[in-house]
Amino acid sequence: YSGVEAGSWPKPKRLPKEDILVCMCAPGRGCGSSLVEEQETCINRRMFVRCCAKLCPCGKACRNKEFNLLKMPKLRPFLTKACGWGVRTKERIPKGAFVVEYVGEVVSDAECERRMWEAKSREEKNFYMMEISADKVIDARHKANISRLINSSCQPNCRSQKCVDASTGEVRVGIFALRDIEPNEELSYNYQFQHFAHEEELKTSFGCRCGAPNCIGTLDSTVKKREQVASFTGKMIRIKWTDGKFHLAKICGYNWQKQKYAVEYESGGTEEVNLDDPKGKIKYKFVKKPSSKKNTNASASASAKKGKGGSAGDKDDTIIVKGQDGKGDEENIPPKKEEEGRLLAIKAEIINPKC
C-alpha cells in the first residue's frame, strides 16, 4: 500500500458550536484523567463520541479527543508464520486504551461492491473493506496505515469501535485494547467478515489460522450462526441412515472447528453431523414441538371428523422436513398405531430436553 489516504471523500464541515456535544468532565477528571477506568466515566466516551479538542473542559489534557490528535503506542509490523504480515506493540498498552485508527479510502457502497467484484475476478484473496455507515466504506487496500496489517483472532486482545467526531459528526473507526497488552505481543481483533455476494455459490469463505484454543476455523461473522445453534440445541430430529430408515436423535451442541452438530441417538451413541450442507447430503427431519395449550372442544371436534380411512393427524404430529436450503416445508405425517406411544414420549422430551 502507498500510505494514508487524504481527500477520497469530501472533508466534513464543522458543526455549529451549539450542535457540538460537550462533556461535563471537570479538569483532571473523566476524559482528562490519566486512568483509563476514570476516562470511561466521560459521557461522550460512553456514547462513543470523540470530544472536540477546542471545547472540551479538560482542554489539551483530554484523552477522548479526535483520533488524529491522540498519541499512538509504538507499533511495528512483522512477518508471521501462517497469517502474512502482523503487528506487534513495542510498549505496554493498558485495557481500554486507544491503539490506532483504521484508515483508508472512504468510498461509496456502490464503489465498494464494484471493487469487490473486480478483486474477485482477479482471484485476489486479501480484502480490507470496513463499513462505517449505510453508504460509506473504508477501503484500506491501497492507501492505509499500519492498522491494515492487524490480523483477526477468535481470542483477540483488541476490538474495533465506530466513533463519532463531536465537531463534525463524522464516523471513524478506532482500535482499542480489550485487556492489558504486554510489549512484543501481537495485536488482533475479530474481523467478523460478512459476505457481499448473496448467492451461496458465489460466496468465498476465509479460513482462520489464529491458532487460539477456541478458534472456529473461519473469519466469517458468526452472529447468525450462533443464533441458529442456540435454536437447534436441545431439539429432536430424525436422521436418515444408510439403511434408509430415520433414526431419532437429540442435538446436543456444535463443534465450531469442524462446523458440525453433535447429536445423541435415542438408541445410544453420539455422532457429529453437518446439518448445513447446501447439497443436502444429510437427510433429516425436525420433530415439531407440541403446543402447550390444547383446546378440548377442538380436539373433540377433530375426533368426530375421523373417518374409516384412519385417524386424522393433528398439528402436534407435524414433522418439519428440511431441504437443501435448511428451511423446507411442514409435512403432516400421521403416526402409525404402534408408534403413537413412542411419539408421545418424544413430545415429552421436547418439552423437557436433557442433553
Question: Looking at the predicted structure, is the pLDDT value of residue 348 above 60?
Answer: no
What Rg value do the Cα atoms of the chain yield, rounded?
28
Tell me, what's the pLDDT at 190?
87
Distance of alpha carbon 104 from alpha carbon 117, whole angstroms? 19
Percentage of residues in the chain with pLDDT exceeding 70?
A: 71
At 281, is the pLDDT very low, low, confident or very high (cuts 50, 70, 90)? Answer: confident
The confidence score (pLDDT) of residue 157 equals 94
The string over 118-152, giving b where at least 16 C-beta atoms fall within 10 Å of a residue's C-beta and e elsewhere, is eeeeeeeeebbbbeeeeebbbbbbebbbbbbbbbb
Which residue shows C-alpha cell 500500500?
A: 1
φ and ψ of 296, to 5 deg: -60, -45
Query: What are 225-245's pLDDT values in tens digits?
Result: 667 888 888 899 988 888 888
Residue 151 contacts residue 80 (beta carbons within 8 Å):
yes
Contact partners, residue 130, CB within 8 Å, separation at least 6: 102, 104, 137, 138, 140, 160, 173
Cβ count near 242 (within 10 Å)? 5
Q: Which three cell numbers stand for residue 132?
A: 462505517
Provide the pLDDT for residue 149.
92
Distance of CA 183 to the CA centre of its chain: 29
CA distance 355 to 347: 15
Could you give the count of Cα atoms lying within 13 Å of 136 in the half-sphere of its Cβ? Answer: 15
Look at residue 319 in the predicted model and tell me its pLDDT: 37
- For the stretch 179-208, pLDDT in tens is 999 999 999 998 876 544 444 444 445 677
Tell me what pLDDT residue 222 has. 59
Mean pLDDT across the chain, nearest whole number?
Answer: 76
CB 261 within 8 A of CB 352: no
d(CA 221, CA 330): 29
pLDDT in tens, 55-86: 999 999 999 999 989 999 999 999 988 888 99
Most confident of 20-24, 309-313, 322-326: 20-24
Q: Work out the average pLDDT over 284-297.
A: 65
Would you say residue 297 has pLDDT above 80?
Answer: no
Strand partners, 136: 108, 133
Q: Which long-range contacts (CB under 8 A, 24 or more apart) does 45-51 make?
A: 47/21, 48/161, 48/162, 48/163, 48/164, 49/21, 49/163, 49/164, 49/165, 49/166, 50/163, 50/164, 50/165, 50/166, 50/172, 51/22, 51/23, 51/166
Interval 32-50: pLDDT, tens:
998 888 999 999 999 999 9
Could you identify the residue written with the cell 477520497? 8
pLDDT-based confidence at residue 29 (cuts at 50, 70, 90): very high
Amino acid 102: pLDDT: 92
Contacts of residue 153, defined as CB under 8 A and 6 or more positions apart, other chains included, come to 188, 189, 190, 208, 210, 212
Q: CA 334 → CA 37, 143, 319, 327, 329, distances in Å? A: 62, 64, 9, 21, 16
Compute the distance between CA of residue 131 and CA of residue 162 in angstroms, rounded to an integer: 10
Confidence of residue 291 (pLDDT cuts 50, 70, 90): low
- pTM metric for this prediction: 0.63
pLDDT band at 124 (very low <50, low <70, confident <90, very high): confident
Averaged pLDDT for residues 146-171: 91
The model's pLDDT over 327-344, given as tens digits with 9 standing for 90+, comes to 444 444 444 444 333 333
